[in-house]
């Protein structure tokens, strides 16, 4: 696995339509659709009801007008006109036909005056449904109008049939006179007052109106759906933004809480580590100095005093190194790590660092080697800091490599023209999730006080800060049980050509980024 020191990007926030608020909006939209469908159906039903009521009223008015007109005409014909004048039934049929012709439009109401089947004077029933209804009127003491929707010639029609009764003797005499032949021949009975003499049929084409009503009802339902869902979308979006704001606020509070807890843990680890790292050499210094000053062991030989003095010196040097590491890291993090750049040869520096670490490697039964390419370029860098970087990397590699393992230094040019210095070991390695932790100051993979591997936890963070001050980078490749490779890369600007001299390279100081 390969891990750089950069942090992973934050997870993306779920979109509105995938959130719980978005799912609530889906349910709201479904309810709006059902409500809009109900409103559309209700609108269509109201239109149909209005159509039936309005057209029914028109039909009643038309039938009453025709009936009144024919009644007046019948009375006037008997009183003033000759018998050559048209009989009322013929006059009524002609007037109705003229009425229908003047209406003209296919969607206009049509009026017919139809006689009973086989007894009609002028107009016979035009279809079986009409004959059936007129026949049903016969024999009823008070027949009622019949209204229904039916399809005539592939057209939906709203039909109403009003029964026509023989209410005047003059009308009865006229019908008996016209149909005298069939009556005298016994082919049909004579007409009497109160007989059903036919029906007034009023047909209104309903298809155009109902089609338009459906379109209007669908538009009303769609408009209601769009308006309600639009208002709901705005409301739910505002609610979602409020929830998102609260979630972000809670998340920031949680991050701050975790950061505070982490800082508290880091402080505890730092205090525990520093107390151990500082008290150990201080105890040695105090203990050996008390032996020398209190003479509790009697008179000491020169060799014993030199040994105690050497232990005091070593403990002081270790204490100074710890303090210097802390101060260097503080300077680097504050951007105040001054570099004393100079032209230097890398191969002698690697040989010097290897010789310094060789005793520790031999004591741990670890093979320490270097793999260098031919004609290594010179560098323009701070020799002390570069030496410290390599010592820290080798020290970590030797510390975490078991006996029989190997530690190798490898130096080569990279693809960008810079220089890569890698330290590879066959040690215990670490998990991918532990690498960022290893790059944090005062952090160790095993940070218990009783941990197996001692140290301040400043090695890798200090290397990262120091190589960053040179404009370089640090990368770690590691696997548990396989080992770790830590590579620091210096940029091409730090490479000095063979023909360069120290005089023509400008002196400069760099600060940690």
110 DSSP β-pair partners: 203
C-alpha closest to that of 400 among 346, 431, 369, 364: 364
DSSP code at position 439: T
Predicted pLDDT of residue 447: 45
Predicted pLDDT of residue 80: 65
Ordered by start, the domain boundaries in the chain are 20-214, 338-504
329 DSSP β-pair partners: none
Q: Which residue has the tokens 């591997």?
A: 453
**Rounded distance between C-alpha atoms, residue 225 and residue 243, angstroms:** 26
**Rounded distance between C-alpha atoms, residue 306 and residue 300, angstroms:** 10
- Sheet with 146-152, strands from edge to edge, namely 110-114, 196-205, 155-165, 146-152
Predicted pLDDT of residue 405: 92
Within a 10 A sphere around the Cβ of 428, how many other Cβ atoms?
19
C-alpha closest to that of 380 among 488, 470, 496, 468: 496
- Rounded to the nearest 10 degrees, how much is the dihedral formed by the CA atoms of 274, 276, 278, 282? 160
Mean pLDDT, contiguous 10-residue spans, the chain (513 residues) = 40 58 83 90 87 76 70 68 63 65 61 75 77 83 85 82 78 76 78 80 82 90 90 84 84 88 75 69 79 71 78 78 73 73 89 87 90 84 88 88 92 87 90 80 52 59 85 90 91 72 39 34
- Name the pTM for this structure: 0.44
Predicted pLDDT of residue 274: 67
DSSP codes of every residue in 473-501? EEEEEEETTTEEEEEEEE-GGGEE-TT--
Predicted pLDDT of residue 82: 59
Predicted pLDDT of residue 5: 41
> Rounded to 5 degrees, what angle do the CA atoms 494, 496, 500 make?
145
Q: Are strands 406-413 and 419-425 parallel, antiparallel or unpaired?
A: antiparallel
**Rounded distance between C-alpha atoms, residue 293 and residue 275, angstroms:** 26
Reply yes or no on domain 20-214 having CATH 3.40.50.300: no
For residue 43, what are its two tokens?
A: 């609108």
For residue 50, what are its two tokens?
A: 């209005």
Q: Which residue has the tokens 């029906």?
A: 199
**Among the residues of 107-206, which ranges form H helices?**
128-137, 169-178, 180-184
**Rounded distance between C-alpha atoms, residue 482 and residue 429, angstroms:** 6
C-alpha closest to that of 123 among 13, 42, 199, 177: 199
C-alpha closest to that of 93 among 120, 129, 57: 120
**Rounded distance between C-alpha atoms, residue 456 and residue 447, angstroms:** 10
**Rounded distance between C-alpha atoms, residue 342 and residue 13, angstroms:** 50
**Rounded distance between C-alpha atoms, residue 391 and residue 358, angstroms:** 11
Predicted pLDDT of residue 296: 65
Task: Select from 1.10.10.1590, 3.40.50.1820, 3.30.70.260, 3.30.565.10 the CATH code of 338-504.
Answer: 3.30.565.10
Predicted pLDDT of residue 448: 44
**Rounded distance between C-alpha atoms, residue 352 and residue 341, angstroms:** 19
DSSP codes of every residue in 103-153? H--TTS-EEEEEPPTTT-SS---SSHHHHHHHHHHTT-SS---EEEEEEET
Length of the chain measured in residues: 513
């Amino acid at each position: 696995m390969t891990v750089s020191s950069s942090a992973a990007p934050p997870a993306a926030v779920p979109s509105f339509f995938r959130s719980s608020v978005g799912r609530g909006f889906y349910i709201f939209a479904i309810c709006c659709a059902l409500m809009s469908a109900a409103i559309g159906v209700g609108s269509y039903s109201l239109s149909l009801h209005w159509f039936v009521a309005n057209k029914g009223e028109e039909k009643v008015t038309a039938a009453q007008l025709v009936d009144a007109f024919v009644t007046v005409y019948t009375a006037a014909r008997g009183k003033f006109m000759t018998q050559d004048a048209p009989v009322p039934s013929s006059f009524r049929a002609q007037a109705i036909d003229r009425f229908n012709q003047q209406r003209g439009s296919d969607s206009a109401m049509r009026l017919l005056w139809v006689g009973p089947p086989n007894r009609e004077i002028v107009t016979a029933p035009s279809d079986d449904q009409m004959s059936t209804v007129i026949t049903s009127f016969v024999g009823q003491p008070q027949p009622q109008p019949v209204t229904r929707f039916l399809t005539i010639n592939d057209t939906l029609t709203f039909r109403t049939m009003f029964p026509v009764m023989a209410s005047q003797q003059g009308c009865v005499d006229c019908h008996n006179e016209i149909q005298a032949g069939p009556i005298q021949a016994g082919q049909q009975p004579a007409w009497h007052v109160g007989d059903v003499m036919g029906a007034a049929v009023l047909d209104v084409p309903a298809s155009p109106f109902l089609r338009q009503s459906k379109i209007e009802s669908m538009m009303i339902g769609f408009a209601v759906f769009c308006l309600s869902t639009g208002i709901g979308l705005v409301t739910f979006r505002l609610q979602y933004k409020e929830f998102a704001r609260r979630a972000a606020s809670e998340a920031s509070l949680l991050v701050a809480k975790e950061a505070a807890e982490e800082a508290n843990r880091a402080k505890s680890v730092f205090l525990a580590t520093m107390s151990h790292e500082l008290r150990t050499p201080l105890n040695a210094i105090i203990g050996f100095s008390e032996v020398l000053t209190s003479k509790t062991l009697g008179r000491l030989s020169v060799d014993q005093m030199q040994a105690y003095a050497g232990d005091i010196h070593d403990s002081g040097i270790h204490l100074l190194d710890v303090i210097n590491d802390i101060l260097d890291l503080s300077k680097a993090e504050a951007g105040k790590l001054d570099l004393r750049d100079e032209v230097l040869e890398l191969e002698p520096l690697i040989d010097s660092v290897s010789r310094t670490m060789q005793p520790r490697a031999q004591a741990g039964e670890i093979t320490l080697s270097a793999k260098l390419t031919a004609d290594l370029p010179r560098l323009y860098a701070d020799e002390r800091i570069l030496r410290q970087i390599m010592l820290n990397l080798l020290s970590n590699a030797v510390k975490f490599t078991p006996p029989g393992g190997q530690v190798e230094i490898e130096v080569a040019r990279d693809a960008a023209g810079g220089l890569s210095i890698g330290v590879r070991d066959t040690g215990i390695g670490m998990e991918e999730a532990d690498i960022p932790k290893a790059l944090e100051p005062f952090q160790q993979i095993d940070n218990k006080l009783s941990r197996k591997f001692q140290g301040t936890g400043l090695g890798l963070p200090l290397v990262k800060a120091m190589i960053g001050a040179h404009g370089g980078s640090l990368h770690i490749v590691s696997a548990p049980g396989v080992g770790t490779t830590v590579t620091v890369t210096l940029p091409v600007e730090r490479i000095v050509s063979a023909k360069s001299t120290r005089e023509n390279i400008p002196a400069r100081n760099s600060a940690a980024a």
